[in-house]
Structures are given as C-alpha cells and as structure tokens.
Amino acid sequence: MQLAELCTDPVVLSCAFLCLLLHLALRSSSGRGRGRLPPGPPGLPILGALPLVGPAPHAGLAALARRYGPIMYLRMGTAGVVVASSPAAARTFLKALDARYANRPAVASAADITYGCQNMVFANYGPRWKLMRKLASVHLLGARALADWACVRREEAGYLLRGVAEAAAAGRPVVVPEVLVCALANIVGQITVSRRVFDAQGDESNSYKDMIVSLLTGAGLFNISDFVPALARLDLQGVQAKLRRIHCQFDGLITKLLAEHAATAADRARRGRQDFVDRLRASMDAGADDESGETITEVNIKGLIFDMFTAGTDTSSIIVEWAMAEMLKNPSVMARAQEELDRVVGRGRRLEESDLPALPYLQAVCKEAMRLHPSTPLSLPHFSFDACDDVEGYRVPANTRLLVNIWAIGRDPATWEAPLEFRPERFLPGGAAEKVDPLGNYFELIPFGAGRRICAGKLAGMVFVQYFLGTLLHAFEWRLPDGEEKLDMGETFGLALPKAVPLRAVVTPRLVPEAYA
C-alpha cells in the first residue's frame, strides 16, 4: 500500500486519534521561542511529511532540499527528522556534531532483522558497540586483517573467472550481480566461519542474493510503523511481517553455519588456523574487555555475522554492477580502463591485488561509480537524544533522527561539474576532484558515511570493488545481449540502491587460456 493511499485508509483514520494528539503536542513543544527550526515542508496531520518523500525517498528528499535548503527539518509521523543534503551540511553533523548524532533510532524494521539491534550496524553508540567495532576492525576489516585474507580473495576471484568463462563458452549471458554475490558471499564465509557458502553460482546462491536484496529493500522503506509507533501492531504496509520471514530464513542460514563451525573447531585448532568467529568466541571466553569492561554474547556474534554477510556482499556488488553498466553506456571509458589494465598487467596473466595501486584510471572509475550510484543512498539513520542549539543558525530538537542524503551530495551541481555525467577523469591528476577520496575525509564523496559511525568495512569495500571490477574488465570483453540496445538504469530504493533490472551481458575472454585455470 502506498503512503499516499494511507492518508484516506479507514483503518488508519480509525486508529490515528491518539497519534494526532501526540503529533500536535510535539509540534507545540518544539518551542518557537527556544530557537528556529530548520526550514521544511509543513506536512499533513498524523503522517506529517511521509507522503511527500515518494517511492524513492533519496530523490524525493533531494527535490525537497532544492526548495527548503541543505539542512531541512521534517515531521514524519511523531518523529522529527533532519536531513543534510550538501557537503557542508554533512560536515556539520558528521564532524562538528558527530558525538551527538552517533546513536541509532529505535525502529521496528531494524529490530526485526538484527536480533533486537544486537549487531554492530544498528547498535547504539556505547561500550558494547565500541567492543564489536574493535573486534571487527582488528580481526576482519582493518588493513592488517585484509592483508591476511588476500589469498581468500584471490581464490574466489579464480572461481569467478572460471564460472564466467564457462558462461562465455556456452554462449550464455552473465548476470553480473549474481556471479559477484556468489563470490563475495564465499569470501565472507571463508574468513568468518572457514567455509565456502556455495559450491558454484546457481539456484542456491541466486536465492541467497534475492533474500539479501529483499531484506535491504524492505529495511530501507519508510515504514509508517517506524514513524507512528501506535500503528506498528497493524503493520499497514506489511513490511514487518515480510522482514520477519526473511530474518527467519537468514537466521536459519547463520545458525547452520555456526553449528557446522563448532563441529570443526578441533580440526582448526590442530591446524593452528583461527577465523573471525573463533576470535570472537575467544574474546567472549576471556571475559570483560580490559578497556571497556564489556563482553559480547552469542547473539552479538550472530549479529556480527549478519552484518558481514549483508554489508559485505550486496553493497560491493552493487557498485561493481553500476560501474559496469555505466561503462557499457560509455564504451570509451571501458576501452580506456582496459587499455590501462593491458599496459600494467598484460594479457598473459590475471590481475592481482598488488597491481591496483598502479591503476589510477580503474580507481577513478570506482570513485565515479560511488559518487553517482552510492550503495547506501541515504545514510543509515543517526539519532540524537539531545537538542542541538546552534546548527548553522538553527535549533534541532532533542530526539531527532538524522539522514544524510549521500545520493544528493554526489549529484550536487554546486560541487560537481556535469554531475549526472559519468566522468572518471574528474578524479585523475589535474581533475577537479583529484585529491578527493571516498573514505570519509572529503564530504563531497562519502559513500561509506563519515565520523564515528562510518562503515567499518570501508577498506574492505574499496578492495572488493577495485579488485573484482578490475578482474572482470581485464579478463573479458563486454557487450549487451543481442536485441538489448538500451540499458535500463532504473534504481530500486532500500538501505542499498541496486539496479532495478539486473545487468546482463555477453562476454568474450581476452586473456591467454592459462589465466582462467
């Protein structure tokens, strides 16, 4: 059911009297005499501005920001939401006010899929979150851990190459997100629980991919239950029921993997090999952390595995897919990237991660894809329990959610020349964005967010995107299937932003046969 239809739905109207009273009370208590709210649309009774954001909230909020400004305040149901839509506005909230907005709002959608927010991504800022973040960084996502697991990425890139080469030999189009998600899920599986999740890309891995897409799409919807809690029991859009079903599927997968992992603990101990879960369990068995005094639980371990499989597979594959789609639209970009790969790597071997620093144009292509098609279009919501009295001259009330419109920032014409054009050259030496990197230091390009809650996997994400995009470009020629002259570039909004129509392409090997062995 669309939000606009909910405004006249008799069930909503019959259940909304208390919400209306609360809405009016909150509006009154915002206190004009205590400071001026940022500008924003007046909205409707009960639902506020919810119907105004439309089916693609990142684009709807960007359109509203063009009218009301880069710092915008909206009343959505009973919740106050402030939206930052420019680099300067993002810097204000994620740097100057970073500590105040480091929490997450309590929303039903997140709780339903993350074991009651016992994971790292949706946990509130505090000692337990800091411990989970520390463990993930030291043992899985930091620079040293990434180097330790490079052999796993190389192995899975080999499986990917052979699978795509087999499709080429059989004359079958390659569905780009399907082969990527299979490879990335196997990487996550090996480094977390010491096993490949899928033997090969096929029905099982495709079902997993569909589950991830449905989960991230559903969790990213502007669910009326999250903004009007009194209506949560009704689940008017069916979002919570769907997410609970998917969570049960995902929990079944995680539970099975952890049970198999426990059964092989003795073998790993004999070989002296520890994976991420082994190290998490060792931390749990050791008791309270010396610095925080906190410990993690079995539920936290499940939550962390959930984070790795969701954020570690679909988000990276989305960027690679968008980059490939843009290059199919812009053949000169693909030709230049392949020329660089041939010059640096040659056609006698496959791409190695050690080659990546010598490939500035490939890096620029990745940055441009992250700018134009960020995998997380709206930052995961931040939350402040406290009022902020001086936000660029405005007062933001306590208990306000913060959304940073990363998608709008990447397309801001005040920041980017020809923002809707795919121009990797802007990131090359001499380009306007030569020094801009996507790791949270330059607010013009923040695909991983910024500040305390920046994505813990930002380094891993960069390696995944560059290595797997480079591998596919280097090893194969790409073209659209016969009869598909126009590429559909539509989006599907959610926590992530995949292509609405998955990218299909026909490939031809371009390396010596031994490179695919």
Q: Check: CB of residue 186 under 8 Å from CB of residue 158.
A: no
- Side by side, which strands form the sheet with 79-84? 71-76, 79-84, 400-404, 382-384
Report residue 456: phi and psi, to 5°. Answer: -65, -25
Classify residue 509 by its DSSP letter.
E
- How many whole angstroms separate alpha carbon 55 and alpha carbon 33? 35
477 vs 417: CA distance, rounded Å:
30
**418 φ/ψ angles, rounded to the nearest 5 degrees:** 45, 65
Return the pLDDT at 85: 98
Cα 79 from Cα 86, distance rounded (Å): 22
- How confident is the model at residue 35, as a pLDDT? 72
| Rounded-to-integer distance, Cα 403 and Cα 380, Å | 7
Fold that domain 3-516 belongs to in CATH:
Cytochrome p450 (1.10.630)
| Spans of all domains in the chain | 3-516
CA distance 418 to 402: 28
The predicted pLDDT at position 8 comes to 46
Judge whether 193 and 277 are in contact, CB under 8 Å: yes
Q: Please provide residue 149's backbone torsions phi and psi, each rounded to the nearest 5 degrees.
A: -105, 15
Query: Phi and psi of 69, rounded to 5°?
Result: 115, 170
Rounded Cα distance between 489 and 503, Å, is 9
pLDDT value of residue 21:
40
Other Cβ atoms closer than 10 A to 121: 21
Say how far apart CA 57 and CA 45 lie, in whole Å.
Answer: 20
Q: Which pLDDT belongs to residue 34?
A: 53
Please give, one letter per residue, the 3-state secondary structure of 181-232.
Answer: HHHHHHHHHHHHHCCCCCCCCCHHHHHHHHHHHHHHHHHHCCCHHHHCHHHH
C-alpha dist (Å) from residue 102 to 96, 162, 338, 380, 402: 12, 44, 41, 11, 10
What is the predicted pLDDT for the residue at 278? 95
**Does the annotation list 455 as a binding residue?**
yes
Distance CA 347, CA 195 (A): 31
Q: Which residues of the chain have pLDDT under 50?
A: 1-4, 6-8, 10-33
SS3 for 415? coil
**For tokens 């279009």, what's the residue?**
377
Q: How far is 102 from 49, CA to CA, in rounded Å?
A: 24
468 closest CA partner among 350, 375, 374: 350
Tell me which residue has tokens 């991983």. 448
**What pLDDT, in 10s, does the model give residues 72-111?**
999 999 999 999 999 999 999 999 999 999 999 988 888 8
Closest CA to 420 of 460, 371, 468, 359: 371
Comparing C-alpha atoms, which of 247, 3, 214 is closest to residue 111?
247
Residues pairing with 79 in the sheet: 76
> How many other CB atoms are there within 10 angstroms of residue 284's CB atom?
15
At 420, the amino acid letter reads: L
- Give me the sign of the Cα torsion angle 334, 340, 346, 350: negative
Structure letter (DSSP) for residue 499? B
pLDDT given for residue 170 in this prediction: 95
DSSP per residue over 346-380, as a string?
-SSS---GGGGGG-HHHHHHHHHHHHHS-SSSBPP
Residue 130: count of CB within 10 angstroms of its CB: 17
Distance of alpha carbon 155 from its chain centroid, rounded? 25
221 near 239, Cβ under 8 Å? Answer: yes
Residue 398: which of 91, 101, 66 has the closest Cα? 101
Q: What is the 3-state secondary structure (H, E, C) of 2-65?
A: CHHHHCCCHHHHHHCHHHHHHHHHHHHHCCHHHCCCCCCCCCECCCECHHHCCCCHHHHHHHHH
Q: Give backbone dihedrals phi and psi of 51, rounded to 5 degrees, phi first.
A: -70, -15
